[in-house]
Amino acid sequence: MNQILDRVKSPKDLKQLKMKDLSKLAKEMRTLIIDTVSKTGGHLSSNLGVVELTLALHYAFDTPEDKIIWDVGHQCYPHKILTGRRDIFPNLRQYNGMSGFPCRGESEHDVYDTGHASTALSAALGMSIARDRKKEDYHVVAVVGDGSLTGGIAWEALNQIGHLKEKLIIVLNYNEMSISQNVGAISKYLSYIVSEQYYLKIKDLVKSILKVIPAVGKPMIKVGGAVEEAIKKTFFPGLVFEELGVKYIGPISGHNTGSLIEIFEKAKTYDGPVLIHCVTQKGKGYAPAKKNPERFHSASPFDVESGKLLNKDKKPTFSSVFGQTVMKLGEEDEKIIAITAAMPDGTGLKSFGQKYPGRFFDVGIAEQHAVEFAAGLGVSGFKPVVAIYSTFLQRAYDQLYHDVCLMDIPVVFALDRAGIVPDDGPTHQGINDIIYLRHMPHMIVMAPKDENELQHMIKSALSYSHPTAVRFPKGKGLGVALDEKIEEIPLGKSELLKEGKDLFLAFGSMVNPALKAAKKLEKEGISLAVVNARFAKPLDEEMILRFARKGRTIITVEEGVTAGGFGSAVRELLDRQKKYSVRFKSIGIPLEIYPLGKTDLIKKKYLLDEKGLFLQIKEFYGVAS
């Protein structure tokens, strides 16, 4: 059925194909990607957009000798299919399956693991310099999207690339989209370069300049090419890249494999940094994704025929409850300003942005800037709510510490996707935030037990007048009713959910399984009081010490790495009270490289589901199974 694809087991096989076969191959690859992602879920639109680009790269370059670095890496499916992983492609993003991102452990063709945006240019420069120092001879290619080019680190890299003039190739995959429509001045600039207006201006300019050069003018108009290029450089310095010292080629179609190969061959001969500006279309080849590239950016399983998502669970997500809450609170308080770093939809803030465009900012993939920008607003009396996924806020550690927390500026951080994150693997796990937030001066750290409590926590966070983080998991809530009236939670106050002898103190998403496990443990003769901690900082010290004073066992549980996390905070509190002797156990995620797959399977692995908690605690108490 796949007449061409069946013949391609490696990039070497690709090079045996005739040019005319490449477009058939592109079609077959698209069908494979659509069919697979419709079952596994995944980054559909971006991958459909880079099929020809990837074919051309593997045709022109020789991996693994030549190195291709994929920025973010979410667009690597065609690369994986062409580099010997077609057989494992059906296991895309599955537990113990194939990663949806470049993964060095998977193939020698993946030279650099990615997942977070804007890193490829810096890594490519480092690899180019290493190549030259080692007197080796190969090409280094960084593929970066226009969305990822909004990240400051990409410009820090360009700053050094243009200065050092190291030989390396940058492929700018321009599709006008980040996850949503790309935003900002750089995006505007790039779209101007590819616009017709720009071409018409150049044409007019070339004509008018040549007309005023007597005698030679007319023939030169026909010469076009080189002359046009020279005028373009002089009057439209393309060229911000040229100004920075990087040769600019483009804009060219990213869907014409033949001309892409020609240009890549040309770029290989250039002895310095060169950027090739390719224009692609996100979702190409699949009508529903082309029509709605945002929805299919990271799609859950869908019906190929209709493009309809298969997930029928109607419970609201934590993100949507967060978005509704900010909307509700924003109606009453004009000082509330919502900020996202390229995730208006994912964070649930899109509707707020539509209703209050003047109080909503999408800063691009720029988490550090988002935090610093919020600090500026907060220090001036506004109430910024910054919604960033737990894993991506790691980027802004210094802004959190040096700016927001040292100055005690009231900024609310909504950490979506906190805890175990399904499908995307180690780069996207949100399991470090309790650790990197807990030791910040003035910072308050909260986590709700369900989506209803999330509403109250967002309101509370806005009332505390300190930097406050609220972490909550990816996906659907528990389906509990949402209180009409949103109320403040007293700072540092926990909630007793079940009476018992010893203390089982659960944080956020672990409250519900902890409660269920404790009820089962009761039948085994283990009596646990279950407390919803609500706060990792400040802790409800009085409540914890009540148990400690009586010499009761204390068990903590969190959906995060235990080293330095919530359990550590409780242990430190107990350590400070030298007079009490308490048996203590902290349950959470160990330090290791985290697996890929669905949340329930990962929770099962770490014994963090109801059954796992039951078994761990029974063992801790020495109760035989």
Ligand X SMILES: Cc1ncc(C[n+]2csc(CCOP(=O)(O)OP(=O)(O)O)c2C)c(N)n1
What does the binding site for ligand X look like in residue numbers (CB under 6 A)?
46, 49, 72, 74-75, 116-117, 145-148, 173, 175, 177-179, 282, 342, 365, 367, 392, 395
Least separation, in Å, of the C-beta of 102 and ligand X? 13
Between 48 and 608, name the residue whose CB sits nearer to ligand X. Answer: 48
Between 365 and 539, name the residue whose CB sits nearer to ligand X. Answer: 365
Least separation, in Å, of the C-beta of 188 and ligand X? 14
Question: Known catalytic residue: 367?
Answer: yes
Q: Are 189 and 288 in contact (CB under 8 A)?
A: no
Strand ranges in 28-187 using DSSP code E only, listed in sequence order: 67-70, 140-145, 168-174
Rg for the chain, CA atoms, rounded:
27
User: Residue 66 has which token pair?
Assistant: 């030549």
Least separation, in Å, of the C-beta of 522 and ligand X? 43
The active-site residue out of 395, 449, 474, 552 is 395
Q: Are 589 and 578 in contact (CB under 8 A)?
A: no
Least separation, in Å, of the C-beta of 75 and ligand X? 5
Between 177 and 530, name the residue whose CB sits nearer to ligand X. Answer: 177
* Closest C-alpha among 545, 554, 546 to residue 586: 554
Between 280 and 512, name the residue whose CB sits nearer to ligand X. Answer: 280
Q: Which residue has the tokens 């519900």?
A: 512
The active-site residue out of 28, 52, 367, 558 is 367
List of residues 6+ apart from 433 with CB closer than 8 A? 390, 393, 394, 415, 418, 469, 471, 560
Q: Are 578 and 481 in contact (CB under 8 A)?
A: no
Between 413 and 547, name the residue whose CB sits nearer to ligand X. Answer: 413
Least separation, in Å, of the C-beta of 330 and ligand X? 24
Between 145 and 410, name the residue whose CB sits nearer to ligand X. Answer: 145
Please tell me the distance from the alpha carbon of residue 48 to that of residue 254, in angstroms, as a whole number: 12
SS3 call for 140: strand
Question: Known catalytic residue: 438?
Answer: no
Least separation, in Å, of the C-beta of 150 and ligand X? 8
Question: Known catalytic residue: 552?
Answer: no
The active-site residue out of 93, 282, 295, 618 is 282
Three-state SS string across 328-395, please? HHHHHCCCEEEEECCCCCCCCCHHHHHHCHHHEEECCCCHHHHHHHHHHHHHCCCEEEEEEEHHHHHH
Q: Each residue of 204-217: b (16+ CB within 10 Å) or e?
A: ebbeebbeeeeeee
- Angle between helix 318-332 and helix 451-463 axes, rounded to 10 deg: 40
Q: Show which residues are catalytic.
A: 282, 367, 395
